[in-house]
Amino acid sequence: MISFINAEKAKLFAQSVSYDMSIYKKRLAQLIEENAKQGNTAVFTVLPKHLALSEIHRLSSDLNQLGYSIRFEVKEFYYSFNIHWN
């Protein structure tokens, strides 16, 4: 059975996060693979304070070189990207 942490615990985790691009890349790689196996694109959302725009551009460039198309959006409180291969 899957269980979710409560919102208060999630807020505490988010407040004490330490930035590490390798963590984002690892999680995104897993997300792309899992979603592709289900026939879906991958949607990745991150708070701007956790990932600089320069890092996003670098990551997008890396994914483009692998043949992915990236749709990047800046929302009011977060960045979102949709990674697809069609």
The reported pTM is 0.74
- Domain locations in the chain as residue ranges: 20-84
pLDDT of the residue at 49 = 67
Least reliable range by pLDDT among 20-29, 47-56, 71-80: 47-56
Give the other-Cβ count within 10 Å of 69's Cβ. 13
Q: Is the pLDDT of residue 5 over 70?
A: yes
- What order do you get walking across the sheet with 69-74 strand by strand? 42-46, 79-84, 69-74
